[in-house]
Each structure stands twice: as C-alpha cells, then as structure tokens.
C-alpha cells in the first residue's frame, strides 16, 4: 500500500453540543458499576460548574487529542468550564499544536505490519496513524519559536503562550487554529502547564535550539511552573479537579495544596475531584491511586470525589456533555488567570 492509502480517513473530533445526553446519564445513575460511578462523576463535575468560586483544573494524560477529544476540551475553554489546564506534552504539542499547523490524525488499525509503517514514515498510536514527516515540522516549529525568543528560562506556561502568539501572528494557520487548545487558551487567558515539557515533540525542537545556540538558550523551568500554579491555588482557595488519565498532570495539581502549605498558606484541600482512568490501585502507582488515598496526603477532600473506571474517549464526552447541556456553566466568569499571573504577586 502507498502512504496516501494509509492516510485517507481523518479522525473527527466529537461535538458534545450536538447531543443532549442528560437523560441518558441520569438513567445511568439508576444502574450499577461504572455507569453509576460515571453518573455521580458527571454530577460532581456539574457541581464544580455551579460553584462560581471554584477554580477548575483539567488534567490531561494519554493520547486524547489524536483520539477525537479536542473539541470537547475547546468547548470547555470557550464556555469557561475550565480555568487551568495541566497536560502531558503529547496532547498539547504533538497533537493539538500539530493540528493547529494544519496536520491531521488518521484512522488506522492495530492489525498492520509495523515494519511497513516504518518504511513509509507512518507512526501508530493503537488504531491511529500519523505522518512522521508532518510531526517533524511540528518539532522544527517549536525550535523556531525558541530561536526567536529572548534567551532565558521560561515556565512551560509562558512558552505555550508564545505558541499561541505564533498561531495568531501567522495567517496561514487561521483556518486551523480556531479549534486549537493552545490558541483558545491564548485568547481566553487560560494557563496551560506541561510539567514534563521536553518529553514530546517540543523536546526535539528545544534540543535542536539549545545545540545550535550554546550561548543564548531558551530553557524550560518546571519549578517555576509549580510556583505559578501554586500561586493560583493560594489566590483562589476553592478548587476542583477533573482528571483525564493519571500520570504527572494528576500529581502536579494535587500537590499544589501541599506546596501552598510549604509556603505557610493554610489552603483547603481540593473540594471536588473526578478522575477518569483505566488504571487501578493494586500496583500502588499514582495513575490508579484513588482520590480517597489522596485525602490521606491532605490533597483531596473526600465529600465530592469520584473515580470513573473507563477509557476516556467513552467517559469524557458523557461527563462534559452532561454538564454542558445542564447549562450551569453560564454563570461562571472568564478568569483570565494568565493575565493575573503576570500582574499579581502573592501578598505575604
Ligand atoms: N501518548 C503518546 O502518544 C505520547 C507521545 C509522545 C510523548 N509522550 C509522552 O509520554 C509521557 C507519558 O504519556 P501518556 O500520558 O501518554 O502515558 P501515561 O502512560 O503516563 O498515562 C498515564 C495514565 O493515564 C491513564 N490513561 C491514559 N490514557 C487513558 C485513556 N485513554 N483513558 C483512561 N485512562 C487513561 C492510564 O492509567 C495511564 O497509566 C508524557 O510526557 C507524554 O508527553 C506520549
């Protein structure tokens, strides 16, 4: 098969606005197992929306954008249903920024000879294909953005703002950028943190930048990320977290309660917490650790918490769609925390 035959049918992002699934999720509340857990998770997520004091943190792990969940997240951003995003680099750079440059993900299959794919420079994520040549353009673009910045340490949040600015300033991306997380967050002032920023396409771009600019380097300061996101918690004490998958983003947001304490601020634990995950708790690792367990570390309150054991492409549109069609987000304000972070120092 030729490369073009492998890369024919594009992944399309699900549009939760089109389907009112409120009655279905309400009915799932009368079922058992993960259906009931999902319905309770949706109700807690909706409680976060109703609580206008609550700063909502969304954490993203896994391959969510390549799988068709981008528009769910973009609709959350546009409707003030999320105030802060913490993600892996794969979601934000390799997948979202990649699509903002005009590239797409394609329907594939796990039942394929991967050596054939390698010869054609096609990368595979389970049943999804990517043109590696296009991914390399994404890497290079990150390197170019770094080359054009004043050399100094940046938080990942600050660098991602520059990625949004790059999309804004280049009209050739105008048709693609509207449905980009990076671009919408840039426009709405929503902070995006990627604590392991180099562990993705961005890493290749930054390695290239640093190699060729030994005396004037842009670097990413993850401690600065942690301080910035902790300032958000200190200034906005009521918080809720909606976690998609586990990994670094889950722990990063949970830990800001402890970081505030380290700085002598007595902040409450996260009031609301919902996690969608396929991991369970038996290996003792972070991704499957329950939110009840997190309460033993002083991170999450146990009154409004729910684990939903499901693959995210199924559960996320249901939980966000439920809350979207309930409409309680409409009373929420646009917080523009990016602007607040650059202007306000924390009062001692
Ligand atoms: N995923 C990719 O294609 C990819 C590509 C390039 C770089 N990376 C990098 O690798 C690191 C880890 O990436 P990761 O987040 O993909 O893997 P991960 O294995 O760290 O994900 C964390 C956990 O989240 C849960 N999870 C993941 N996907 C889920 C889903 N669809 N539904 C429910 N639960 C889910 C699982 O329990 C998993 O153990 C990151 O730094 C990322 O930037 C990933």
pLDDT tens string 133-171: 999 999 999 999 999 999 999 999 999 999 999 999 999
Other Cβ atoms closer than 10 A to 281: 14
pLDDT of 299 > 90? The answer is no
User: Per-residue pLDDT averaged across 101-128, rounded?
Assistant: 98
**Candidate of 90, 205, 243 to mutate for ligand 1, largest count of ligand atoms within 8 Å of Cβ:** 90
Q: Whose CA is nearest to atom 8 of ligand 1?
A: 90
170 CA from centroid of ligand 1 (Å): 31
Q: What is the pLDDT of residues 251-265, one digit of tens each?
A: 999 999 999 999 999
Mean predicted confidence (pLDDT) in 61-82: 98
Ligand 1: residues whose CB is within 6 Å?
61-63, 88-90, 94, 125, 196, 199-200, 245-247, 276-279, 287, 311-312
In this prediction, residue 348 has a pLDDT band, given cuts at 50, 70 and 90, of very low
Which tens digits make up the pLDDT trace of 6-53?
999 999 999 999 999 999 999 999 999 999 999 999 999 999 999 999
Predicted pLDDT at 292? 87
Report field, pTM of the whole predicted structure over 0.85 = yes
Percent of the chain whose predicted confidence (pLDDT) is above 70: 99
Write the residue with the smallest CA distance to atom 37 of ligand 1: 279
pLDDT of 345 over the 70 cut: no
- Whether 299 sits among the annotated catalytic residues: the reply is yes
Catalytic option among 216, 299, 326, 330: 299
pLDDT of 346 reads: 52
pLDDT for position 145: 98
Residue 242 has pLDDT above 90, yes or no: yes
| Mutation test residue for ligand 1: of 14, 59, 61, the one with most atoms within 8 Å of CB | 61
Task: Classify burial at 65, counting beta carbons within 10 Å of its beta carbon; exposed 0-12, middle 13-18, buried 19 or more.
Answer: buried
% the chain with pLDDT above 90: 93
| Least-confidence region, from 21-25, 285-289, 305-309 | 285-289
């Amino acid at each position: 098969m030729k490369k073009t035959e492998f890369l024919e049918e594009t992944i399309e992002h699900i549009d939760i606005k089109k389907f009112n699934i409120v009655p279905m999720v309400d009915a799932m509340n009368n079922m058992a197992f993960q259906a009931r857990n999902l319905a309770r998770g949706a109700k807690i997520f909706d409680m976060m929306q109703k609580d206008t004091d609550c700063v909502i943190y969304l954490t993203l792990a896994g391959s969510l954008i390549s799988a068709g969940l981008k528009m769910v997240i973009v609709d959350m951003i546009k409707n003030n249903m999320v105030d802060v995003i913490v993600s892996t680099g794969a979601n934000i750079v390799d997948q979202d920024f990649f699509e903002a440059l005009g590239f797409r993900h394609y329907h594939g299959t796990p039942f394929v000879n991967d050596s054939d794919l390698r010869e054609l420079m096609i990368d595979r994520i389970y049943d999804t294909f990517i043109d590696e040549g296009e991914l390399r353009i994404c890497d290079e673009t990150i390197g170019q953005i770094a080359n054009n910045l004043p050399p100094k340490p940046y938080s990942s949040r600050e660098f991602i703002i520059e990625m949004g600015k790059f999309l804004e300033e280049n009209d050739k991306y105008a048709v693609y950028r509207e449905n980009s997380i990076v671009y919408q967050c840039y426009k709405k002032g929503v902070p995006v943190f990627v604590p392991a920023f180099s562990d993705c396409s961005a890493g290749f771009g930054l390695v290239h930048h640093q190699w060729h600019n030994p005396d004037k380097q842009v670097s990413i300061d993850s401690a600065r990320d942690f301080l910035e996101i902790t300032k958000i918690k200190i200034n906005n004490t009521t918080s809720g977290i909606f976690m998609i998958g586990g990994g670094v983003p889950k722990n990063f947001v949970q830990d800001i309660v402890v970081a505030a304490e380290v700085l002598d601020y007595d902040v409450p634990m996260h009031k609301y917490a919902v996690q969608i995950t396929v991991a369970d708790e038996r290996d003792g690792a972070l991704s499957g650790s329950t939110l009840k367990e997190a309460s033993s570390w002083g991170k999450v309150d146990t009154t409004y918490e729910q684990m939903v054991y499901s693959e995210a492409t199924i559960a996320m549109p249901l939980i966000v769609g439920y809350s979207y069609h309930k409409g309680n987000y409409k009373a929420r304000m646009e917080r523009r925390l990016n602007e607040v972070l650059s202007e306000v120092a924390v009062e001692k």
